[in-house]
Structure 1
Amino acid sequence: MNPLTWLTDWFERRYTKQALARLSAVLVVALLTTQLLFVWYFGSVGLSMGKTAYSNDDRTVVVDASELREIEREYNTTHEEGWCLYGSKNRTHIRVTEVVRAQTIFQREDRIAFTCIPETASQVAAGQNPRLIGNVHSHVGYNESHLSRLDVMLLGRVSPVVTVMGVYTERDGVEFFTTESLNEPLDKETV
């Protein structure tokens, strides 16, 4: 017997159709309420961050020169690119030990979307213990590596998972930002 059919039959024997209809309605309302709260919370965090624009994170980003060269080597002048950052973090430093080019969901000249989920899953499947700490994306045609308004909103939404967001431009190279430092990039130390 199909498990779904068995479960349905068990519920029908145990509860009236009216009780099942009420239970279904309560579950649907609870699911919708949870989704709306989730969207409201992460959306409001991102929007409010754009208004407050902090500049008081005094951590230093420590990154290997070879990893920075990886970003420079894969930079494209015709469309944005994305990279996933792996490493560690504490109260004084953010250490980037590995940069992995991101698989894109979509990519245009002025916008890119990626999640770092496939990259992280690949590392787990290979027996590694990856620690995703952030991401970098390029801004094509800009001279300064600063967060755009959209970047600020996105960082606010993903900040429970992503600690640092980097922006790469051809002239400035990569600059790193956190939710506590949106206006000014963090200090960077290349080793």
Structure 2
Amino acid sequence: MRTQEMTESELTLPANLSDTRTDPVAASGAATVDRGRRGNPLLTIGRILAYAAIAVIIAFLLFLTVGPLVLPYKALVVYSGSMEPTIPVGSVVILTPVQATDVKVNDVITFQRPDNKAELVTHRVIAIESGPQGKAFVTKGDANNSADAWRVPAVGSGWRYQANVPYVGYLLAWLQSPLGRILFLVVPAAALGLLTLYELWAPRRTQRSS
């Protein structure tokens, strides 16, 4: 094995390597800026959750308000307690179309009150009677002690109860007020704006302090 003593000239590094320096302070600053650009993970998660919450609320409100205009179901707010505890006051009931011939005893249906066509009533069918004018539904509210005085003609089509969302009716009624509409739009937008501004400002503050 041959060995050879290296002279000083042979140990000289190339210019591009010999001039290379590592500055700990600069490296630390670059890392801080890089972390700042990525943003605070907690703020990012918070913003994602805020977006998700707003999206869910908007989708739910669209389901209750716009959906019935294009899909075969209806959403109505319950203002009285005649069907408690099955349907609490302030609930939103989800109804689907039904033919009168398909309605059975114990179904809950929504119909125009026979003595006041402007009022919709959601009550349970407790019997089906046959009379000179054909079949008719005998209805009753679960919280009432006696059946309704009227009879609902069992003809054509109507609406059958499927489910309810408790107390959401209060929210819908509030959102229909001017203050409710303003707050529904302004509060989420302001919250997202503050999160975005803080996320942009926090990295700069960290960079200056370093």
Give the TM interval when normalised to the shorter protein: under 0.3
Please identify the structure whose Cα radius of gyration is greater.
Answer: 2
| TM-score for the superposition, normalised by structure 1 | 0.27
